[in-house]
Structure 1
Amino acid sequence: MNTQPRIALIGECMIELQHRASGDLQQSFGGDTLNAAVYLRRELGAVGTVDYVTALGDDSFSDAMCQQWAEEGLGLGMVQRLPGRLPGLYCIQTDANGERKFLYWRNEAAVRDCFTTPAAESILAALADYDVVYFSGITLAVLGEVGRERLLQTLIETRRRGGQVVFDNNYRPRLWASVEAARAAYHRVLAEVDIALLTEDDERALFGYADSEQVFAAYPSMAEVVLKRGADVCLIRCAGARFAVPALKVDKVVDTTAAGDSFSAAYLASRLKGGSPEAAALAGHRLASRVIQVPGALIPK
């Protein structure tokens, strides 16, 4: 791998509203691949470049997003601004145990046309030259059928040119017309994935796998499979070897939003810097344990 890798993360950032116990709403921004991009940039330090690939509107919220991303060191050259469109919005409601419920307003979000605009042709062509392309199950859902097919062809070309494809499964049933439609979309891209960062509960919900062994058995040819299991031991299969890395315990969980995204970012950053799978999982646990003690998706630097 290039010592200064070029990394692109594809997906959606939304307006985030945190519903506080007082009844107040705290506004910020978040989205699974955007969360991962920010944490990846922070974890990599001076190593490589991290670009975010999405579509936004021409409104003030979209302006503020781009400003925040630039301040975090993310590249904006692959961000489309679509006139008259808006980003999606979601609200986080958190219970006394730190578990969260999401309410979404995203059906007309600009990202749904990310790969169907005239500008998408040059963006997709450029993606194939990146060292790492990262996307998620939510990316698959919001891009739609045409966008997914164009993404798939780009993943194939990326790997042909020597790049790596990284996938976080992040299955959200409400984003899909049916579980069968989601399964079909996932199966089409999983064959082009090098590193899979899988949440075990999502694998159970989507494919019905009974346990971790069934998950690993489902991806026999994948180079690296990381099974995220919340507060339980993280399981990894890499180059034929197996690893189990315990999570770090915290005294009080405040908000589990972005726990998996931050784990994935720190894991990938460690691997890109030459860390072993065990060291990478420990880095993932370390960052996630900090994130879940702070409200919202992105903790202060």
Structure 2
Amino acid sequence: MAGKLLSIGECMVELMQAEGDLLRKGYAGDTFNTAYYARTFLPADWSVDYLTAVGTDTVSGEMLAFIEKTGVGTTQIRRVEGRSPGLYMIHLKEGERSFSYWRSVSAAKTLADDADHLRAAIEGSDIIVFSGITLAILAPSAAETLLSELRRAKAAGKSVVFDPNIRPRLWDDKQYMLDTISAGARSASLVMPSFDDEAAHFGDADVAATIARYRGLGVYNIVVKDGPKGVTLSFGDAPLQFVPSANVDKIVDTTSAGDSFNGAFLARYAVDGDPVKAAGFAASAAATVIQHHGALVSRDKLPSA
């Protein structure tokens, strides 16, 4: 059955280390990465669109051309005069990543400023994806505008998917961060947290505690990612299900591990409705991604859908 997936957030210019002192330019960002992998694994009768804002500068134009080339739609992307895309650099050490960011004039911070545009895009979609980073870059009033529209979508029966993706450096106040992440979860019908984030910032003792907390916020479909320890699923009234991680020969770059899992999971789950099978496939996709450099791994290197 055909459908429409909309992912909302910030795509940034990505600089990654190449040979010598050279840098390689790309484009990535958590919700765009998810859109990329969802597009890769969804059948052709599904559309995948990205909602953000970019500038009117040359780099913004190049970013739009890149997004279109991946097959992700750009019709929901607004262009804002006087703004530009954010930029980040990946630093790798033994496969683990750290980042430096430059995003003070990021156009994506205005993605919810046109409320009518936002509502129309959400109303026209079947699956809507957003993250804690989406919320973190917005002013409080803009974050509330977005959450209000997502609550409407959830009430209308749409699938609203939230990855908390907690990045404390993006938030000015810890309590506001925790409160806003919780508000994001209340707006969602499916939450896909990473356990290490939840333990570090919410103090969850174990995966069961993470599931119980999100259940308490009114979320009844939960996928808890726990890196090499696997994934735990809590869907409706069904018993908890555990899906092991896939084998990895050598970790090269963990960038986009969770994003690729999310995109692959949503693609498979949208087609057959089986969360366990979707998680198994997504684990295989994420294991492939972390054995290559960069956030977006080419289709020919990924498992077939």
Please give the range of the TM-score, normalised by the shorter of the 2 chains. Answer: over 0.9
Does 1:156 find its partner at 2:154? Answer: no
Amino acid paired to 2:36 = V
* Selected match of 2:241 from 236, 240, 243: 243
Once the two structures are overlaid, the 10-residue window that deviates more, 180-189 or 122-131, is: 122-131
Query: Aligned partners of 1:245 and 1:187: how far apart in 2?
Result: 25
After superposition, what is the alpha-carbon deviation per residue over 1:141-168, rounded to whole angstroms, capped at 9, x for unaligned?
A: 0122121110111012112322111001
Identity score, percent: 38
Q: Secondary structure at the match of 1:77?
A: coil
8 A contact 1:166–1:194 mirrored in 2: yes
Query: Aligned partners of 1:208 and 1:270: how far apart in 2?
Result: 31
Runs (5+) with no aligned partner, structure 1: none
8 A contact 1:57–1:85 mirrored in 2: yes
Deviation at 1:20, TM superposition (A): 3.7
Once the two structures are overlaid, the 10-residue window that deviates more, 68-77 or 195-204, is: 68-77
TM-score normalised to structure 2 length: 0.94
1:140 corresponds to: 135
1:274 corresponds to: 272
* Selected match of 2:189 from 167, 171, 194: 194
1:59 corresponds to: 57
Amino acid paired to 2:8 = I
* Selected match of 1:298 from 281, 296, 299: 296
Does 1:224 find its partner at 2:244? Answer: no
Deviation at 1:21, TM superposition (A): 6.1
Query: Aligned partners of 1:189 and 1:300: how far apart in 2?
Result: 31
8 A contact 2:6–2:51 mirrored in 1: yes
Does 1:105 find its partner at 2:102? Answer: yes
After superposition, what is the alpha-carbon deviation per residue over 1:60-117, rounded to whole angstroms, capped at 9, x for unaligned?
A: 2111111111112111111011122110000000012x0001100112101111112x
Deviation at 1:215, TM superposition (A): 0.5
1:123 corresponds to: 118
* Selected match of 1:171 from 162, 166, 175: 166
Deviation at 1:284, TM superposition (A): 0.8
8 A contact 1:257–1:297 mirrored in 2: yes
* Selected match of 2:25 from 18, 24, 27: 27
Aligned residue pairs, count: 296
Amino acid paired to 2:110 = D
Deviation at 1:136, TM superposition (A): 0.3
Q: Secondary structure at the match of 2:84?
A: coil
Query: Aligned partners of 2:274 and 2:203: how far apart in 1?
Result: 30
Deviation at 1:122, TM superposition (A): 2.4
Query: Aligned partners of 2:167 and 2:138: how far apart in 1?
Result: 14
Query: Aligned partners of 1:164 and 1:58: how far apart in 2?
Result: 32
The root-mean-square deviation of aligned C-alpha atoms, in Å, is: 1.3
8 A contact 2:132–2:184 mirrored in 1: no
Query: Aligned partners of 1:78 and 1:126: how far apart in 2?
Result: 7
Runs (5+) with no aligned partner, structure 2: 300-305
